């Protein structure tokens, strides 16, 4: 199977079982090997005590991007360490986009950065994630 | 106001407006200045494509603990950088606990670790968070 | 003073007192407000028990880039949280380059990524740093 | 070989080849499986442009502790992601201690925190490190 087709099928399968990503309302814009871009809208139930999006919402969005991008090669990959810098607060109605970039992908370890921007193309968060690439393949 | 009373009131106020922490079903076990312990149950809608809790769920739980512990001194504090290591997967029905420890608290910067354990007292995640302490006080 | 001139003078002053950056043999390639690029050669005394550069060498190189880039605006800035992913090992004789990019710079907090590459333009490490921007100006 | 003896021998072998840890003047206080404590003195050549220890010095000290603690089980382990929070500045003559704690150790991934304190038992830095555990054993 071509790498591009495999990437799309793996992410389709992951997303179809990923109840929390569905609750978040994550849309897939583009999926390629080692890459994905996603979109999401901030809803009222995502806000914290400061009336801005809970830090966990932005993290969850980025973490889904990490999962999709790192599994897209067809090998089951699990997050081992992630970090996020919260740069700009998000309000209800904001629409955010995540772009995952593969920094490095060796046999066992993959490293990704995910940049999150809002509807004005302003950076709202920067996420870095390290995954362990298991030896199990996705059955597609 | 005594520091213990202030801590409880600030966190009570934060929690009462924190719609996402309420969606998560976070319970407050104990709140003290610079400290909190929280409990939460993993529900079906929190699972990802591997049928385990989405990484964002554990992060969100820890991030709420960070917000509560760091604001408990009465100064509004905002997260600037956080990281989480996912150690052990969580299934539906698991009950997890977060304990926030204040590593350092200077005039402007606070550093916290949050350890998350499951019902068997096994570590499931380790979170580290850095906050910027603004000059604004919580009005209680 | 023009921002470009200020940036160069601040970093010149920092470097002239920075004994450890001098021990490392760090060369400044370019300094601009919020930006710097640096070069360094891996020497025998920088190696660890695996006969590759000690992780602290790459970190130190990146941390100097963070200090120079974040102080270049003229405000004294101190590192509060940094992380580094080690991607590719370095041997004696390798020549590495660091490029600091300013992701965000608010009144109090600055966030930077520093990408380190070797002489073949291969990524060897990715560093992310958060600084607290004090209210003290550099006296130049 | 008993685990305690193996741990000491592996770290002895690592240290004897680790030229940079020797330059730092790192002393081993205690080595056990998954654990080590180290001591080091801040010298003039370790200072930066603020006349305090360069952030890379504290990081390097912690990174050596990570390497020793994670390799002490006898399997060659390499750092994949590390972070450090700088809490308190260090001056020439300060004597610091690192204590490595094993948070988690699975077949492939190990997670450690290293706490650094000064001669007054004040926390000066908090380090978290993730290693990949290769399948190669140390030959002792």
CATH for C72: 3.10.129.10
Residue C23: pLDDT band with limits 50, 70, 90: very high
Local structure of residue A56 (DSSP, 8 states): H
Residue C98: pLDDT band with limits 50, 70, 90: very high
Of D88, D104, D128, which has the smallest distance from its Cβ to B128's Cβ? D128
Q: Does the pLDDT at position B76 exceed 80?
A: yes
H/E run at residue D61: helix D55-71
Strand extents, DSSP E, chain D: 27-32, 35-41, 75-86, 95-105, 109-117, 123-137
Instruction: Report percent pLDDT > 70 for chain B.
Output: 100
Say yes or no for a CB contact (<8 Å) between A48 and B80. no
Residues in chain D, pLDDT under 70: none
Angle at B70 between CA B67 and CA B72, to 5 degrees: 100
pLDDT at A140: 85
Class of residue C11 by CB neighbours under 10 A (exposed 0-12, middle 13-18, buried 19+): buried
pLDDT at D49: 86
pLDDT at A49: 87
Tally the C-alpha atoms within 13 A of residue C6's C-alpha that lie toward its C-beta: 16
B113 at the A interface (CB within 8 A)? no
Is residue D96 within 8 A of residue D40, CB to CB? The reply is yes
Please name the residue ranges forming H helices in C18-125: 19-24, 55-71
Say yes or no for a CB contact (<8 Å) between B67 and A86. no
Class of residue B85 by CB neighbours under 10 A (exposed 0-12, middle 13-18, buried 19+): buried
Mean pLDDT over the full length of chain B: 97
Instruction: For residue B106, give its domain range.
Output: 3-137
Which of B79, B80, B134 to mutate to test binding with chain C, by most C CBs within 10 Å of its CB? B80
Residue B93: pLDDT band with limits 50, 70, 90: very high
The Cα–Cα gap between B60 and B21 comes to 8
Tally the C-alpha atoms within 13 A of residue C13's C-alpha that lie toward its C-beta: 15
Mean pLDDT over the full length of chain C: 97
Number of domains in chain C: 1
Residue C49: pLDDT band with limits 50, 70, 90: confident
Tens-place pLDDT, residues D111-140? 999 999 999 999 999 999 999 999 999 998
A33: closest CA of chain C, how far (Å): 19
B130 at the A interface (CB within 8 A)? no
pLDDT at D140: 85
B99 at the D interface (CB within 8 A)? no
Residue B26: pLDDT band with limits 50, 70, 90: very high
């Amino acid at each position: 199977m071509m790498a591009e087709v495999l990437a799309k099928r793996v992410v389709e399968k992951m997303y179809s079982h990923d109840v929390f990503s569905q609750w978040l309302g994550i849309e897939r814009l583009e999926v390629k090997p080692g890459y994905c871009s996603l979109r999401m809208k901030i809803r009222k139930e995502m806000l914290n005590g400061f009336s801005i999006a809970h830090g966990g919402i932005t993290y969850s969005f980025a973490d889904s991007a990490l999962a999709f991008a790192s599994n897209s090669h067809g090998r089951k990959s699990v997050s081992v360490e992630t970090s996020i810098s919260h740069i700009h607060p998000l309000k209800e109605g904001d629409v955010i986009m995540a772009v995952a970039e593969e920094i490095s992908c060796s046999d066992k370890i993959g490293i990704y950065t995910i940049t999150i921007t809002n509807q004005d193309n302003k950076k709202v968060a920067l996420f870095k994630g390290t995954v362990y690439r298991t030896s199990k393949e996705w059955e597609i």
